[in-house]
Amino acid sequence: MIMDMATASHQSTPSAFNILKCKCPRCRQGNMFVEANPYKLKSTMKMNERCPSCGQPFELEVGFYYGSSYVSYALSVALSVATLVAWWVFIGLSTQDNRFFYWMAINGVLLIGLQPVLMRLARALWLAFFVKYDKNWREHAPEQPERINKDQMNNW
């Protein structure tokens, strides 16, 4: 009974929260990345080949994650717009002084500092566009990718 309640509560976890945690979109349990810390720069983008929990392949085809660069760009623009609006509301913008340039400098440092997180988040979002949650993932085998070249895997 306790196991059923734990499983039910885990399955009801929203997808957005699991994307932020970089969990497998199919089972929402396995980690997508080998290293949990995005700031270990030697292994920031090193992904598991398959989900440790459900076996879902993370590389669906050759060059699959090239599309995540567009998602990363959109996240960076959204973050920049959000910081600009926050700067405008709390500090204000003026053509009479350098407040806008201070925002640009702070925003640039913020974007550079958050780049490993944004890149991982973009990959998690990109994979979630193509792999849907399966509440009965234990009973169904994951779809196997058809267009994989082992020599080109993780070639980004």
Find the domain containing 15 and state its range: 2-152
Tell me how many domains the chain contains: 1
Question: What pLDDT, on the 0 to 100 scale, is given for residue 144?
Answer: 77
Contact 140, 29 (CB under 8 A): no
Q: What does the pLDDT read at residue 60?
A: 84
Mean pLDDT of the chain: 85
For residues 43-63, give the mean pLDDT: 88
pLDDT at residue 83, as a whole number: 97
| pTM exceeding 0.95 | no
Please give the pLDDT value at position 78.
Answer: 98
**23 vs 148: which has the higher pLDDT:** 23
Q: Is the pLDDT of residue 47 over 70?
A: yes
The pLDDT, as a whole number, for residue 52 is: 92
Angle at 145 between CA 141 and CA 147, to 5 degrees: 165
Query: What does the pLDDT read at residue 1?
Result: 39
- pLDDT higher than threshold 70 for residue 115: yes
Q: Which of 5-9, 93-97, 118-122 has the highest mean pLDDT?
A: 118-122
In the predicted structure, residue 119 carries a pLDDT above the cut 90: yes
Question: Is the four-CA dihedral 23, 56, 116, 128 of positive or negative sign?
Answer: negative
d(CA 156, CA 15): 26
What pLDDT sits at residue 14? 62
Q: Which residue has better confidence, 85 or 8?
A: 85
d(CA 90, CA 124) in angstroms, rounded, equals: 32
Residue 33, beta-bridge partner list = 47
**CB–CB of 8/115 below 8 Å?**
no
pLDDT tens digits along 122-139: 999 999 998 888 888 888
